[in-house]
Amino acid sequence: MTAPSPLAPAADTALLQRRTVRVLVLTQAVGALGITIGIATASLLARDLSGSEALSGLAQTAQVLGAAVISFLLAAVMSRRGRRIGLVTGYLLGAAGGGLAVLSGVVESMPLLLLGAVLLGAGSSANSAARFAATDLADDTNRGRSLSLVVWATTIGAVLGPNLTGPAGAFADAVDIPELTGPFAIGAFGMLGAALIAFVALRPDPLLTAREQAGEVVVGQPVAGSSAARALAAVKERPVLGFAIGGLALAHATMISVMVMTPLHMEHGGAELDVIGLVISVHVLGMFAFSPLVGILADRFGRPVVLGSGGLVLVAALLLCASSPQGMSWQVTAGLFLLGLGWSLAMVSASTMVAEHAPLAVRTDVQGTSDLVMGVTAACAGALAGLVVDLAGYPALALVTLALAFGVAGSAARAQMIDTTRRAS
């Protein structure tokens, strides 16, 4: 058992926090390239391998479900070994998934694609965990801003990724693999780069340092009960955590269900792969580019207020998507942008609430459970999205998904009531 270190001076902690955020920003930028480059082609590859448009959303669904389950597992790793080891593990698993996705196209195997997609979810898990790592050494006045800066860094790789869809296809032709698998090959290299950056530069580990400063054991101390039981106990003790997790899960499900079906909706109207990639890039821009502003707003006006605003923006996005014709249109472009922006408002604010209210001793348990619930909810929504589009069309999907967006606003309202009551007492 490692003895705790003396409490570090506030100035030293602030300096370490700034360095940690810089490293996480770089890791996110590189890792996001690996994760998002396959967004525009995943549903198309799944359709080709399965021979069914009803099954076209399964690849993205498997990736989201993989991210959910692996987030929970990585949280357990981080609880024992720290953020650095957990992030490296996630990115390496994601790179392996990218390799399997390429192989699935070569041998024309849908099951292999789904397995690769599940492992690709580990890269998403690592990127999600990085946002929480940015809050380990933050204080109450800048927790939202620190988290949002790391989320913002995803913009660099995430916007670039879908725009590499065309060049990735040319790369695939050059190395004689199926065109739709090219993005996954490039993505695997991106996640390997992120793993290397985290392994070399994320020292000292922010979570282990926070525990040292709090007088807790750094590594290896067994904790009573299961991770899920500890997280559930924390939610019962602090109900605001439940509404934060609920709002986060519903916002993610709203975004995933519509986003994964948009490439098919556009292709049905004759849109080319490069054009589809451009619209996805606009969507990803909305998801990440304004995150620092969202973080500032969350710190200044309160997390529940920003979460509720995210729910209303999602409603506007869905109405635009429901009105969009097949192919390229201003409605689908604006709708996808607002879908990303509403997700950003909800993600940053709800994640900050989780980081703020989760007790340090079970912080990774609560955060891992939060991402598990978020991922499972989104995976279910993504799986149903393909069936809804096959039976009733894309506009019907957008209208049905309105129920989830209103749920985000409802979660925010309940969280605000709890926060107001707490402040009054």
Flag the least confident range among 156-160, 256-260, 272-276: 156-160
- pLDDT at residue 37, rounded to an integer: 67
pLDDT at residue 1, rounded to an integer? 37
- Number of residues written out for the chain: 425
* 146 vs 382, more confident: 146
Q: Is the pLDDT of residue 401 over 70?
A: yes
Share of the chain above pLDDT 90, in %: 44
Residue 159's pLDDT band (boundaries 50, 70, 90)? low
> Per-residue confidence at 87, pLDDT binned at 50, 70, 90?
very high
| pLDDT value for 349 | 95
Q: Are 407 and 250 in contact (CB under 8 A)?
A: yes
Q: Supply 84's token pair.
A: 């650095």
Task: Confirm if 382 and 260 have CB atoms less than 8 A apart.
Answer: yes
Closest to 36 measured CA to CA, from 372, 368, 239, 288? 288
CATH of domain 10-424: 1.20.1250.20
Percentage of the residues of the chain whose pLDDT score is greater than 70? 91
Which range among 165-169, 235-239, 248-252 shows the weakest confidence by mean pLDDT? 165-169
> 35: closest CA among 147, 129, 152, 160?
160
**Average pLDDT of the residues of the chain:** 86
Inform me whether the pLDDT recorded for 254 exceeds 90: yes
The per-residue pLDDT for 11 is: 66
Per the CB < 8 A criterion, the answer to whether 74 and 131 are in contact is: no
Q: Highest mean pLDDT: which of 10-24, 115-129, 233-247?
A: 233-247
**Which positions ≥6 away from 391 have C-beta within 8 Å?**
none
**Whole-Å CA distances, 309 to 59, 157, 247, 344, 411:** 31, 26, 11, 10, 11
pLDDT attached to residue 162: 63
| CA gap 166, 67 in Å, rounded | 26
Cα separation, 186 vs 103, in Å, equals: 13
Tell which wins on pLDDT, 114 or 61.
114
In terms of pLDDT, which residue wins out, 39 or 125?
A: 125
pLDDT at 3 over 60: no
pLDDT, tens digit, 9 for 90 and up, residues 275-334: 887 888 899 889 888 999 999 999 899 999 999 999 999 999 999 999 999 999 999 999
Separation between Cα atoms, residue 215 and residue 4, nearest integer Å: 5
For residue 352, name the pLDDT band (cuts at 50, 70, 90). Answer: very high
pLDDT exceeds 90 at position 172: no
Evaluate whether 193 touches 199 at the Cβ level (below 8 Å): no
Mean pLDDT of 193-207: 94
Q: What is residue 59's predicted lDDT score, i.e. its pLDDT?
A: 81
Helix (H) or strand (E) holding 369: helix 363-392
* pLDDT at residue 377 tops 80: yes
- DSSP structural state of residue 55: G
CA distances from 68 to 73, 158, 224, 280, 391 (A): 9, 20, 23, 22, 27
Q: What's the pLDDT at 2?
A: 40
Record the pTM.
0.80
Q: What confidence tier does 154 reach under pLDDT thresholds 50, 70, 90?
A: confident
According to the model, what pLDDT value does residue 4 have? 39
Say which residue, 54 or 412, is predicted with more confidence.
412
Distance of alpha carbon 238 from alpha carbon 3, whole angstroms: 30
Residue ranges of domains in the chain = 10-424
pLDDT value for 79 = 87
pLDDT above 50 for 269: yes
Start-to-end C-alpha separation, the chain:
40
DSSP code of 271?
Answer: -
**How many beta carbons lie within 10 A of that of residue 115, not counting itself?**
19
Q: What gap in Å lies between CA 167 and CA 361, rounded to an integer?
A: 46
d(CA 248, CA 164): 29
| Radius of gyration of the chain measured on its C-alpha atoms | 20
Reported as a pLDDT band with limits 50, 70 and 90, residue 5 is very low
Q: Specify the residue for token string 């009105």.
A: 323
Contact criterion met (CB below 8 Å) for 319 and 339:
no
